[in-house]
Structure 1
């Protein structure tokens, strides 16, 4: 880490516009946004003219898996990958680690595992599973940012799904203390009725996770929000068939938000090779027409934000079944790559980089109540990323920082990459990494949100 006092650039994202500016820091906070020619004492990073300075990415959907499955991903490797990709804040999912974060005691185990291993700031989601309704409010008071649940099999035995009555009971409790439920929305009954034979075909895999699985589950979430008044969030939306329902629910006044992911915006089912488990995720990557509808929903504000859903596993897990996509672990490793990939895809569609930044930084920060992150303004945390369009980013999975060298982005080239991340006024030096700088975050008190 290298403590810096200012960043100067010809393109700094202030509000909705890129302007020439000098951004000054003190004690980890932004203290001024001055003209670019402003002279300041101390150490100043001067970005090249081809670079854009954006707020650090706030990635609210990351599976770190430590403790218990640290061989899949741990805090050291995950936060280094985050820093290299411009993400200065992560919120860690409650499952795949052992124990799952479904009690306060389990949260403390997770926090102990993270201590001294963080290159960026990290907070934690709690989990809602059968039988832990009484644990939800204590977890909320202990500082989790909300509660994740599944409506179908999660893939790990220690984090079972909620059936409809259990889901409604958990929502009722969460509404009582005005918490937040985030939902993996695939319907167990629809999945059970879909064709699910062993197959190396990506087309067969998509047929096994049809659009109807998402639309039915999202309708259940909408109905639950209407019945209880709870605040709800749809995780990793894949199917554009659900967009009309989400818009109608929002127009009705229900408190519902939704995210999608870089892999749904960058890939299309018809171009994915068979027996390529690096592309497998649940819900699946769908066709190119669906992808364009997701982009339009972002433009229209129906989808609120973009997150990585970084969910790595060992080669053994990803290659289980020898190419049979029903057996392989589902999850895309994109934490280090997502911003560059989305920025290029947005550029192809004439979408401004400022909007990409809002979807990946400001909107995600606001979603979890971190109003001092995800923006470049006086008083905010001095979390910045420098994105240089004059530096190519050729993806080689073996050179990415996450623990296992598997990536759907392997071999791709992007015309722009993150060249520097700054966390609370400290420039990260990946050649001399310091994993004791990141802070553990807890949910801000409501009056501070």
Structure 2
């Protein structure tokens, strides 16, 4: 057999070991793995001394082009992804201006992406107040999933992303269930965290620790439970993003064990940094949900 590609002599990373092997590719798929493959190939890559491993897929990337390219554009973002071993990504619908919430803004995003991507990509669509009648057209145009915020987000800038109200969340879930799409959610109780933050600022409490205290774990758990309940009512598939607490994880696992179609993700900083370190690190350690205590972090590891 003649292959399209043979990668010769690389250190191939398998599930539980690393072995020096040849890897043959035909029609875009791995066709053979062996210590030595002597067949002909249109292209041969000498991988002696190099590691050969599957490319990663990052399903949560924020490319801020168009509109805020100076934050992170397609060129800089996808070069970094490629350098880190990521070969495909899915881009979130916020941060760019306009946010990706309808057919027109999606086309602007796709046009901005032309000729600038170093890896494969797909796009999210947004669920925001006012675009319930745009969800189907986003699906028709090829978005692979949707994203919304239960916590306050966005700005006063026109066409920026904004968080959902309960009606938009419920009705949007119904529509996405009909379309067969998944909804990713940033889950924090906006009313409580916003007011707690405002009160702390009035009291002059503006340290990194104060910020974390203004967004306690129960505000994440409350939003997660409401999202799960509405998803159960509507049949919507859910993915809960950047979950920061063991308590929230437990609620999601419970719902999954009861039959709901729900998954979750967290972030490296919740496993490696704590509130105590945020004082030293400063604004670079500010995130939402915030960093937690060492005790909470240990629970999250478990």
TM-score, normalised relative to structure 2: 0.89
Note the alpha carbon deviations across 1:359-395, whole angstroms, 9 max, x for none. xxxxxxxxxxxxxxxxxxxxxxxxxxxxxxxxxxxxx
Q: Which runs of structure 2 are paired with 1:378-417 in the superposition (5 Å)?
A: none
Partner SS for 1:125: strand
| Structure 1 residue aligned with 2:165 | 163
Deviation, 1:7, is 5.0
Task: Let me know the Cα RMSD of the aligned residues.
Answer: 2.0
Change (3 A) 1:87 1:133: same
CA distance in 1, matches of 2:17, 2:206: 46
CA distance in 2, matches of 1:129, 1:55: 35
Bigger radius of gyration: 2
CA distance in 2, matches of 1:129, 1:150: 8
Instruction: Identify which range, 189-198 or 238-247, moves more after superposition.
Output: 189-198
Note the alpha carbon deviations across 1:35-88, whole angstroms, 9 max, x for none. 22333554223253xx65331111111111000001111000000010111111
CA distance in 2, matches of 1:215, 1:178: 26
| Structure 2 residue aligned with 1:8 | 9
Residues 4 and 45 in structure 1, CA contact (< 8 A), matched pair in contact too:
no
Q: Which runs of structure 2 are paired with 1:33-48 in the superposition (5 Å)?
A: 33-39=32-38, 41=41, 42-48=43-49
Partner SS for 2:269: helix
Unaligned runs of 5+ in 2: none
Deviation, 1:274, is 4.1
Instruction: Identify which range, 189-198 or 80-89, moves more after superposition.
Output: 189-198
| Structure 2 residue aligned with 1:138 | 137
| Structure 2 residue aligned with 1:191 | 193
Deviation, 1:264, is 1.6
Question: By percentage of residues, which structure has more helix?
Answer: 2
Is residue 22 of structure 2 the alignment partner of residue 22 of structure 1?
yes
- For these two proteins, the number of residue pairs brought into alignment is 289
CA distance in 2, matches of 1:125, 1:139: 9
CA distance in 1, matches of 2:162, 2:209: 27
Is residue 126 of structure 2 the alignment partner of residue 127 of structure 1?
yes
Unaligned runs of 5+ in 1: 297-449
| Structure 1 residue aligned with 2:178 | 176
Task: Work out which structure has the larger RCO, using CA pairs closer than 8 Å and 6 or more positions apart in sequence.
Answer: 1
| Structure 1 residue aligned with 2:91 | 92
Note the alpha carbon deviations across 1:105-146, whole angstroms, 9 max, x for none. 111100000000000111100000011111101111211011
CA distance in 1, matches of 2:46, 2:140: 40
Q: Which runs of structure 2 are paired with 1:222-261 in the superposition (5 Å)?
A: 222-261=228-267
Change (3 A) 1:291 1:54: farther
Q: Which runs of structure 2 are paired with 1:22-421 in the superposition (5 Å)?
A: 22-26=22-26, 29-39=28-38, 41=41, 42-48=43-49, 52-157=51-156, 158-195=160-197, 196-197=200-201, 201-274=207-280, 276-296=282-302
CA distance in 1, matches of 2:296, 2:7: 43
Partner SS for 1:273: helix
Change (3 A) 1:34 1:149: same
